[in-house]
Amino acid sequence: MRKYMKTNDTTPNIRAVLYTVTGDPPTASVVNLTGATVKFIMRQSGVTAAKVDTAATIVLATSGTVQYEWVVADTDTAGDYMGEFEVTDSGSDVTTYWDLRSAADIGNDLPPEPLIIRIVEDLA
């Protein structure tokens, strides 16, 4: 999944459905987020410190739908970034979801698709 934004923009939000992939051929199962917490983490390519490491919203727990709403400080620096959602379930187990393919793409055995965000300078 690729997202393109201008510096200091706060939309569009990032919304994703999180899946667990099993089997051969692969099948996708929606992650049930009931009782879980979710963080969105983003870091610039070539930089070790995270630019964003904060809570994301669970939009619909039973369908694995999550969303992150930007603030200006998240997008104030142009560059290429990698993003992921980190889920802590009710038993305190942590799973990171960086492959944001659709269920159809998983079923068709397409390669993993990391979340890449490109922020470019605003012309104004």
Going by C-alpha positions, the residue among 32, 22, 15 that lies closest to residue 109 is 22
Number of domain units in the chain: 1
Q: What is the pLDDT tens value at each position of the chain, 124 positions in all?
A: 889 999 999 999 999 999 988 888 778 889 999 999 999 999 999 999 999 999 999 999 999 999 999 999 999 999 999 999 999 999 999 999 988 877 777 777 777 888 899 999 988 7
Q: Are 66 and 38 in contact (CB under 8 A)?
A: yes
CATH number of the domain residue 19 falls in: 2.60.40
The domain containing residue 26 runs over which residues?
2-120
Answer yes or no: are the C-beta atoms of 44 and 76 closer than 8 Å: no
State the pTM of this model: 0.90
Secondary structure of 23-92 in HEC code, one letter for each residue = CCCCEEEECCCCCCEEEEEEEECCCCCCCEEEECEEEEHHHCEEEECCCHHHCCCCEEEEEEEEEECCCC
